[in-house]
């Protein structure tokens, strides 16, 4: 499966009910107000935090590689009477009708790009879509291995139609040299005698600070690194880092 197609079909259907965390819109609203508008969220998924940003009156477009997730976003937007402009495109192959003062990813979605070549293409696309004086925000982290005791553990939720939804980690492989972690996830939907079960590999590709800065430079971007509070990050900082480009 192409990594860009992970959030389709049963995964998109189960994403909302099984989601354990939603991005707080406030840090991204503050970034947009500082950098200026219009703004663009890359990897907007089913609408968090894009819809809240739109509801607050900010001029924000969205883009995602999953048509299924965008369908969920549009349905949620219609239910809340929130106008939203979104595009079905890959991050590394953007071709949008306008340029943006602020481009951002809500959380470390950039790690879902499977390799350095794809990441470089995405950074070049970001640069091409920044308005003069614009800023991009790319949060990054190094994923940790799934604890052994969580392999096989099942999380469940109920669908609106009463179906039981289940997700579990089946197996995981980690390649430190390639900086890639592949987690095999099992998604299940059970409703009476009707069952759907599908396993999919979830690939995360990470970067050292130096490696990402070099990629950004190659793409024609200069990187400033901060922590989650917006303060300059020391050279030995770990955890979630925010790269401003």
User: Nearest to residue 126, comparing CAs of 206, 203, 205, 218?
Assistant: 218
Q: Which of helix, strand or coil describes residue 159?
A: coil
Q: What is the pTM of this model?
A: 0.93
How buried is 206 (Cβ within 10 angstroms: 0-12 exposed, 13-18 middle, 19+ buried)? middle
β-strands 164-175, 39-42 pairing: unpaired
pLDDT value of position 22: 72
pLDDT value of position 106: 93
Name the residue ranges covered by the structural domains of the chain. 3-142+206-244, 148-204
pLDDT value of position 54: 98
Q: Nearest 10 degrees: CA dihedral of 67, 75, 60, 33?
A: -130
Contact 90, 60 (CB under 8 A): no
For 128, which DSSP code?
H
Show pLDDT as tens, one digit a residue, over the chain (245 residues).
677 788 888 887 878 777 666 778 999 999 999 999 999 999 999 999 999 999 999 999 999 999 999 999 999 999 999 999 999 999 999 999 999 999 999 988 999 999 999 999 999 999 999 999 999 999 999 999 999 999 999 998 888 888 899 999 999 999 999 999 999 999 999 998 899 999 999 999 999 999 999 999 999 999 999 877 777 877 777 778 999 99
Determine how many CB atoms are found less than 10 A away from the CB of residue 154: 10
User: Nearest to residue 69, comparing CAs of 6, 122, 157, 20?
Assistant: 6
pLDDT value of position 20: 64
pLDDT value of position 236: 72
Q: Is the dihedral of CA 23, 68, 183, 194 positive or negative?
A: positive
pLDDT value of position 21: 64
Tell me: domain 3-142+206-244, CATH 3.40.50.800, correct? no
How buried is 153 (Cβ within 10 angstroms: 0-12 exposed, 13-18 middle, 19+ buried)? exposed
What's the half-sphere exposure (Cβ side, CA atoms, 13 Å) at 214?
A: 7
């Amino acid at each position: 499966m192409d990594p860009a197609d992970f959030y389709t079909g049963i995964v998109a259907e189960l994403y909302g009910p099984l989601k354990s965390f939603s991005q707080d819109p406030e840090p991204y609203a503050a970034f947009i107000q500082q950098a200026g508008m219009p703004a663009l969220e890359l990897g907007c998924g089913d609408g968090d935090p894009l819809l809240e940003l739109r509801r607050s009156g900010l001029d924000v477009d969205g883009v995602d590689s999953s048509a299924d997730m965008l369908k969920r976003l549009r349905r949620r937007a219609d239910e809340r009477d929130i106008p939203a402009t979104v595009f079905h495109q890959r991050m590394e192959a953007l071709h949008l009708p306008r340029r943006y003062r602020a481009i951002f990813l809500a959380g470390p979605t950039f790690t879902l790009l499977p390799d350095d070549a794809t990441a470089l293409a995405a950074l070049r696309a970001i640069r091409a879509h920044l308005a003069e004086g614009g800023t991009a925000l790319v949060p990054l982290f190094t994923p940790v291995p799934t604890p052994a005791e969580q392999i096989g553990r099942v999380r469940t939720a109920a669908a609106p139609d009463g179906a039981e939804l289940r997700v579990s980690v089946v197996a995981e492989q980690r390649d430190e040299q390639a900086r890639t972690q592949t987690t095999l996830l099992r998604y299940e939907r059970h409703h009476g005698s009707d069952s759907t079960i599908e396993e999919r590999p979830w690939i995360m590709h990470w970067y050292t600070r130096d490696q990402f800065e070099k990629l950004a430079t190659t793409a024609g971007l200069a990187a400033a690194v901060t922590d989650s509070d917006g303060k300059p990050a020391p050279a030995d900082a770990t955890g979630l880092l925010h790269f401003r480009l």
